[in-house]
Structure 1
């Protein structure tokens, strides 16, 4: 258990530090949002670019990992949709629940944890996760949100294409594409430029956790507490369970063969709380209160669930 705490305590201590410095007024919520934009638009893109560009293509992209993570995510979407339908919630809250259950915080929380657990694989794991989330899971969830409004005349495939087009223009995806280009061409980056990118990438880990903690201060903690608890529970329990089932099924039929480290990484990636943009997307449905409660519950509850998964996997 001491080994587990050596992993989870630094992560949550840094999140707590972020909460404390904003709560005390040393930094404002506006400044935290600026830090968050720096991480999302500069530090993480630099990290992903560096991860892809500095390795051979075959060393970065693991189809087996992507298949397990993608299939587990799709199964989570289906099961969460069924669960919230059976609970009798309206389409908008159901869409909110599906997104909260499916989209993990791979960048701000997942990457620092992977950095402690698998330092040599962390950047590759982040790249794989962001690829599946950006091209598959998040677009499906956003389309469900759009459809829940019942005021759109666009076909589903056009909505999906529009969402996908907006997502691939993100700096994260641009960094990934440029890194892939460098990797495929096989060129070596000049040492000064490589050092510059490495320095930017190194700033992502701790600052991302501080941003997560600071963003929890002042969340609108009013809303459907029952729905929030259900969303938090499905994210922390249902999503990793579906990924585990995907791994077991795909391995049994001979479709994939994951190393122990990659198997642990994909399960832990699914066990992360929902991503930070969750409350932003919830504003479109006027459900930011329930989303904030769910994110707060999942972020704090993940200390327990992640510790249990780590205890089991290690």
Structure 2
């Protein structure tokens, strides 16, 4: 119970503050969009760059952790896309549903949650999962959506377009530049480090408040029957598969296994919603998945964090 009140609830309370601010009209309809842009273009890149710049190549060399989290995410995505296609759904919509079921909200919830639950040593593994989610999984999903909506375009052109888009993504550029800096440059100067720290410290609370603003802006009731399978895969299927891979296949140490499972159990992030809007696909179901999985994850994450604290 102490884990719930000291670690989990403060994280979700910040989401609640954002929700309340939108409901009370303290922040307008564009508040979530603008605060999200601060997180994506300034706060989170500063955090990712700083973490990677202070990490050694040895710390980043965690093939078992990468495989456990990455393979579980890939399996959930592929399974969801395949089932939707068998039922006759469009390829672009199937890709969005797959992303709904596999896209963990590492950027907005994972960093502050793991920092509180597992301490500063968790930041490098969290950064690895952020890269796997925001860059690799999202890149694959975008490519599949492009294949679904393109009329006669070549696969090479689609891949080049997606690659160029990802190269301009600050969530990808920041950790890549940070890793290069760690390997080739001297330690960060005190002034630069302090500047990055100030930006980085604002990233997590702003991200959580932004998520609350976003959830409050969704209108209408989510279609629970249609979302139940995706939400179950996200909150139960993905962490269960991650645990099986981490503990039984790759034999990770207990702390790394706990981090991998908790990160896999995070609710659906906002990436699928942004992608649905970008390609003008039906976004109501995506928003509903984010809302429902975020609310339910208060319980599931509390249980997992408590469990791994007990067994550590």
- TM-score normalized with structure 1 length: 0.90
SS in 1 for 2:120: coil
| Residues paired across the two proteins, number | 308
Give the superposition deviation at 1:94.
Answer: 2.2
Q: CA deviation at 1:17?
A: 0.7
Q: Tell me which residue corresponds to 2:197.
A: 198
Task: Give the Å deviation of 1:214.
Answer: 0.8
Q: What is the DSSP-based 3-state SS (H/G/I as helix, E as strand, rest coil) of the residue aligned with 2:22?
A: helix
| 1:312 is the counterpart of 2:307 | yes
Distance (Å, rounded) in 1 between the aligned partners of 2:18 and 2:265: 22
Q: Does the 8 Å contact 1:72/1:245 carry over to 2?
A: no
- Per-residue CA distance 1:150-205 (angstroms, 9 max, x = gap): x4323445423432331132112221122112110141221111111111111112
Contact 1:48 1:179 in 2 (8 A): yes
Q: Say whether the 8 Å CA contact 1:104–1:271 is kept in structure 2.
A: yes
Greater shift after overlay, 39-48 or 88-97? Answer: 88-97
Give the equivalent residue in structure 2 for 1:260: 254
How far 1:224 moved relative to its partner? 4.8
Structure 1 position 243, deviation (Å): 1.5
User: Equivalents in 2 of 1:90, 1:311: separation in Å?
Assistant: 40
Q: Does 1:16 align with 2:16?
A: yes
* Runs (4+) off by over 6 Å: none
Distance 2:234 2:199 in 1: 31
CA distance in 1, matches of 2:78, 2:61: 26
TM alignment of 1:115-264, pairs within 5 A: 115-149=115-149, 151-156=150-155, 158-221=157-220, 224-251=223-250, 257-264=251-258
Provide Cα deviations, 1:122-173, integer angstroms capped at 9, x if missing partner: 4312320122124421122122222333x43234454234323311321122
Deviations 1:234-293 (Å, cap 9, x if unpaired)? 211222122223224532xxxxx4222211111111111111122121222531111111
Q: What is the rounded CA distance, in whole Å, between the counterparts of 2:272 and 2:220 in structure 1?
A: 14
Distance 1:184 1:308 in 2: 39
Query: Partner of 1:103 in structure 2?
Result: 103
For residue 281 of structure 2, the aligned residue among 286, 290, 295 is 286
- Contact persistence 2:103–2:271 (CA under 8 A): no
When structure 1 is superposed on structure 2, of 47-56 and 91-100 the one drifting more is 91-100
| Residues 134 and 168 in structure 1, CA contact (< 8 A), matched pair in contact too | no
* In the alignment, structure 1 residue 39 sits paired with structure 2 residue 33: no
Could you tell me which residue of structure 2 aligns to residue 303 of structure 1?
A: 298
Q: CA RMSD in A?
A: 2.1
Find the residue that maps to 1:121 and give its secondary structure.
Answer: helix
Partner residue in 2 for 1:254: none
Equivalent-residue separation in structure 2 for 1:80 and 1:6 (angstroms): 35
Query: C-alpha displacement at 1:119, in angstroms?
Result: 2.2
Gap runs ≥5 in structure 1: 252-256
